[in-house]
Structure 1
Amino acid sequence: MHRKVLLLPSAFLFLAASVLSSRLAAAAWPTDPTVNVALCTAGGNQLNSRMTTDGAGGAIVTWVDNRVAGNSNIYAHHVRSDGTLDPAWPAKGLTVCLASGAQTFPAIASDGAGGAIAVWRDARGVSGDVYAQRVHGDGQIGDAVAVAPRGASQLALLPVRPNPVRGSSFGVDLTLDGTGIATLDLIDAAGRRVASRELGSLAAGSHHVTLGQGLRLRPGIYCVQLRQGGQVRVASVSVLR
């Protein structure tokens, strides 16, 4: 019997909850535990899956794939926050490594730009080595991501300090890159947007802004979400009584 890669809703929601994405509120994952999300149904065994956040409530998952007889390779797929597979990616997974020899023990981390970097043990040579590949959010591999010129501002959201906070408002330190209108949202644990600020009047560079003014926030954990030019940055903050 072939093993297939299935991503359980509970496992994914645990990952997504760690960044408290607002998309959780619109999730449409199966509620029947016998009907899960089929991430890959190719021939052969798929095993040793690992995943990382895509920065928008979804996940990029990598695994060892034996669909090519006599070989173990590395594949990946992107599952979106609503439980659907990204149509920009190959239906049965993106080929990350198809070299000779066995590729095993994959690991993966977010690249901070909607994609990920996967690494694995690789036996294409005389001895076991370690190889890596970058996977972009659009399902492409390898090509360099545009890098901001030296000295240019890059989108960033610093951890909230102090944390936890008391009261309804708190300061947020961030950097804008000037690529478009930026918004700063405060999202509760249920995925509801409870506060929002448009930062369109702010120029590229570092800023300190206040979020939550005039609100009576309930105690709990919230997500601070910064969006600009299709990029997303998140930070968490705990609110006390």
Structure 2
Amino acid sequence: MVGAPEFQVTLLRTLRLANDELLLVWREESLEAARLLAATVNVSQPPLHALESPRLLATGTMVGPPTMLADGAGALIGWSERGAGNESVRLVRLIAGAAVAPGWPANGAALCAGPVGFDAPAILADGDGGATVAWVDRRLDDDGDIFAQRVAAAGSRHASWPEQGFAVCVASGEQFAPALAPDGNGGAIVTWVDTANQPAGGSLLLAGQSVIRPQLIETSIDPGRVRFTWSVDRKTPATYRAYRIEEGGELRELATLIPDGRGQIAMEDAQAPEGREVGYSLSVSIGEEERFLTPIRVQVPVTPLELALQRAWSPPGSDVIRIEFALPRGPAPRLELIDVAGRRVASRTLAEYLPGQRSAEIRPASGTRTGVYFVRLTQGSRTLSRKVVLVR
């Protein structure tokens, strides 16, 4: 691409500060890069105006979702980022006007360097302008471990803490969804979800019983909608629960799943946040004992803003025309095949298609000749067309 990449806002967070300011932190992404920006507006002096000259907090090839925490008259912002061949977790303190607090680096204090998870980190303010931060770290293995770092009020690492963070839990299996709580003595209690005690192989040991581990057999991901299907052991009276991992690391229970007659359970999240990497976890329990399977992480696509006909072709040896297109929300689209004289030789309505990146086929009548045609895709008042050569 030539020139500046085109950025789109994919995530927005807001936090009311103590001085009648509303802090906005948002992520913008393009095909090549991502960045994190911040600005404030005064909510006591309407009308509100468009934001001008926002503060750039981070830029790189990937920026994770931020965590925001009010801290006195300011706020602590934490995030993960990838750029220039490295990854890190960062923390910054913003004060009035989205200014960086004195002593803090403009691009945030680096809490570690190395492969990290791109979930939002957990933050606990210490009451003196500093904080403890916990995150998922992947420097030792791809499964993920829990690390933490203590940052002083001036944005520097606490002198007694390791430069690359303190290893809270390094174990087999996956550790994820860290959360922090004060211990009453100026420190922090760290909790997380841990799969280290799940036995290897195809079974789980629960309440003295061996339960066949659920097997993921189908995944469906659309803008704002994620669906998983597992096969399970119908002979064991286990309870299955599906959770979504929220940005702060908390587990939000979506549903209790009941096996059908085929021994399958299905989870559907019809409110999956678009444009985000989202984690899901399935738990299996017997009685009061509950075990979590390794989380599934998916990138939820964004609903296209406008109709786009991206590709049209005729596979050699077939008698169909195939297209790839971006479908926004709106009326059902219509697909037509037009010859060079302007006559319609085939058509179909794509009423069953949901918004998102889609593909479809149209089959000309058996007597349609090989040659040049035009594919026409219409949704509402918008019509797009592409030339295609039909090869039989």
With the shorter chain as reference, the TM-score category is 0.3 to 0.5
TM-score of the pair, normalised by structure 2: 0.30
Larger Rg: 2
Q: Which structure dedicates a bigger proportion of its chain to helix? A: 1
Q: Which structure dedicates a bigger proportion of its chain to strand? A: 2
**Whose RCO is larger (CA < 8 A, sep 6+)?**
1
